[in-house]
Amino acid sequence: MAAEENSDTPAGNRGEDLDAARERLLESLTRAYVSGRITVEEYERRAGLVQKAPSQEELIALLSDLPRDVPPGSPPERSGSGEPSATSDRRTVPGYDPGQGGRQDILCVMGERHLQGNWLQGDSAVSLTVMGSTRIDLRNVALPQGPIRIQAFVLMGETRVIVPPNLPVRLNASPFMGEVTAKRNIDQQVRYGEPHVIIDGFVLMGSLVVVAED
């Protein structure tokens, strides 16, 4: 009986073409990020390299050194001093102080997700959309005195962020073979100390659009 195949390894030896192997590896990278095995920066770096890899051997090498998946409910890694390891929370938003609020994770895989009303419990969110459609509506959210930080990652899908008029937005996300757009009616003059939105992230073969609506 053949051994079970590792789902985190591109199936180059099974006759997959290069494009199919790329897509499968991107899905594996997404799972690694969602489970906290790699950082935001590492996700972006490897996703870019996937698109440039000229062979299946190089694709496999991009995933071969990933940390093993940690089953849900497992305790965080600990250092020799008995304190939680610095890698125990690999998805902390850069520049985000956990003492100032909470973070919500928004996951949409091959489907549709629409967040509306006063859904944000804190001042930070991480949105990951894979071959699906996510709509993040901030018009009825209770705004903190300061920034709402959103990290949006889009893989072959679309994410639409809706803000009320006059809520400033700073859009810092980077596209790779994709689209990152703030519509012309968006106020991009951020005034620190007042409510505003900061959107970072990475778009690969998808779209991230920010619009202002009443």
pLDDT at 196: 92
Which residues of the chain carry a pLDDT beneath 50? 1-15, 70-100
CA 42 to chain centre: 11
pLDDT at 162: 95
Distance CA 34, CA 107 (A): 8
Distance CA 184, CA 73 (A): 45
Q: What is the pLDDT of residues 147-165, one digit of tens each?
A: 999 999 998 899 999 999 9
Residue position matching structure tokens 């804190």? 122
pLDDT at 24: 77
Which pTM does this prediction carry?
0.62
List the one residue out of 37, 27, 49 whose CA is nearest residue 129.
Answer: 27
pLDDT at 115: 94
Name every residue whose Cβ is closer than 8 Å to that of residue 99 and which is 6 or more positions away in sequence: none
Q: What is the pLDDT of residues 160-182, one digit of tens each?
A: 999 999 899 999 998 988 999 99
Question: What percentage of the chain exceeds 70 in pLDDT?
Answer: 75
Answer whether 123's CB lies under 8 Å from 172's CB: no
Residue position matching structure tokens 């009303």? 117
Distance CA 69, CA 111 (A): 24
CA 171 to chain centre: 15
pLDDT at 207: 96
pLDDT at 158: 96
Answer whether 49's CB lies under 8 Å from 32's CB: no
Q: What is the CA radius of gyration of the chain?
A: 19
